[in-house]
A = this chain, B = another copy of it.
């Protein structure tokens, strides 16, 4: 556990704080019990001990605005809390902040079948929206492991990605319009849900991925799309890393893929060792690609076979399997999706990094090389959304190495990794955001001039540094 720098700035006592917050949201919507402070004061990271002053549960945008105005007047720092599934400590209250939790703003309303849009309170859970879409014969395509807990407001504030980005993009692409409360307590209705609206700076885009540092998202109109048909999965065995990219190009030349995922044999072997998922085929190769596409007609399936045979002929692929049913497709997906949970017992050091697709092979090799040379006892597990250049690097703790020493060595690994990220012009956070954990490394991806402009933009919307201070950038 690390102490963060900075402190809550208010001179109010906790009692006075609770009283004034209660005047805004009602006494039953302010909590200070130890359980609540512990639960709502952190996200999925476990590095910083939570220490909020109070948790407040607004029910309306106006209440959020009133909380922010009060916070400005009394110099109270605010931390937004959604599903608390963040992996970069973007929603941790470690310095006596007041946590604004959106759990009661979870209404879905104003569905419009023609526009294929629906309004969501910030607290709507991702899965709730996915289910709502299904019930209306539509589809909300942004999907990831934490969909059962993560909230729309948090998804927007972190521009959540996931497993279908290659076809449907990030959360950014599904926000038709949104209501935000700025750091000054101003309520902005951004973009009016329009598909085309060229009337000046699209400020929606600043709040998407803004990690709550400019203002809090309170409502958003989300787009839905048609339901994909007969999603079919192909898993391919690929001996050479460079050929993974050739396989991607080959398939993309004629098909619209809905996923192109990647995992190493080491990753798959961990999953297979659990014994509840069958191997895709007998041949073993160093790398595997999982390709998903819509097979609406036999012609689609034929097209996939044409590309598969081309990849076999070229020697890029040596074996493969295609799903013939939904169950088979689900089982093939488990080879990829079960990796994260399977390796969790080895206390993995994780990094969520990206480069442009074509640079993935040399980038990955550079990291492999330095880690293997310096720490030959470390086992490196690679997987990720390779179709969009996003790799999840996982290093497993050797059984005989103490946790403390493992983490200390991982600190060195981080520096090497981020230096290689910088060399390849990549991102130190592809989809998990910056929060507190990546803040010290931001400069490996963003220039000093960019960071200075980010600070100035923050100052415009949150002049008193009330909104999620200490996350992303220091004001």
Contact = CB atoms under 8 A, between A and B. Distances in A.
B454 A201 contact: yes
Interface stretch (A1-9, A23-31, A203-211, A330-338): A203-211
A395 interface: no
Interface string A221-258: 00000100000000000000000010011001110100
Interface stretch (A140-148, A365-373, A423-431): A423-431
A454 B203 contact: yes
Contacts of A299: 296-297, 299
A437 to B, nearest CB: 12
A103 to B, nearest CB: 24
Interface stretch (A37-45, A185-193, A261-269, A399-407): A185-193
Nearest to A359: B115
Given A194-B426, A197-B427, A200-B209, A115 B189 contact: no
B209 A206 contact: no
A198 B253 contact: no
B449 A188 contact: yes
Contact of A254 (B226, B446, B451): B226
A446 B385 contact: no
A214 B460 CA distance: 15
Interface stretch (A47-55, A75-83, A158-166, A313-321): A158-166
A429 B199 contact: yes
A359 to B, nearest CB: 9
Interface stretch (A270-278, A282-290, A350-358, A374-382): A350-358
Contacts of A195: 165, 354, 356-357, 388-390
A193 B460 contact: no
A396 interface: no
Nearest to A171: B198
Interface-centre pick from A188, A196, A253, A355 (highest chain B CB count, 10 A)? A196
A356 B442 contact: no
A114 B198 contact: no
Contact of A197 (B199, B430, B453, B456): B430
A72 to B, nearest CB: 15
B445 A199 contact: yes
Interface-centre pick from A112, A193, A297, A446 (highest chain B CB count, 10 A)? A446
A447 B200 CA distance: 12
A198 B297 contact: no
A440 to B, nearest CB: 12
Interface string A435-467: 000100010011101110110110011000000
Interface-centre pick from A112, A433, A445 (highest chain B CB count, 10 A)? A445
A429 B165 CA distance: 30
A427 B226 contact: no
Contacts of A200: 209-211, 434, 442, 446, 451, 454, 472-473
Nearest to A248: B114
A202 interface: yes
B192 A201 contact: no
B457 A460 contact: yes
A457 B158 CA distance: 21
Contact of A198 (B433, B449, B450, B460): B433
B199 A358 contact: no
Contacts of A187: 449
Contacts of A457: 201, 203, 457, 460
B354 A194 contact: yes
25 contacts: A112-B356, A115-B356, A161-B198, A172-B202, A176-B356, A188-B450, A192-B427, A194-B426, A196-B354, A196-B390, A196-B427, A197-B354, A198-B209, A198-B427, A198-B431, A200-B209, A200-B210, A200-B454, A201-B214, A201-B457, A202-B208, A202-B209, A203-B450, A296-B299, A453-B461
Interface of A: 112-117, 137, 158-159, 161, 165, 170, 172-173, 176, 182, 186-190, 192-203, 205-206, 208-211, 214, 226, 245, 248-249, 252-254, 256, 296-297, 299, 354-358, 385, 388-390, 425-434, 438, 442, 445-447, 449-451, 453-454, 456-457, 460-461, 472-473
Q: Which 9 A-B pairs have the closest CB atoms?
A: A205-B205, A114-B358, A195-B388, A297-B299, A196-B430, A197-B427, A456-B460, A192-B425, A196-B390
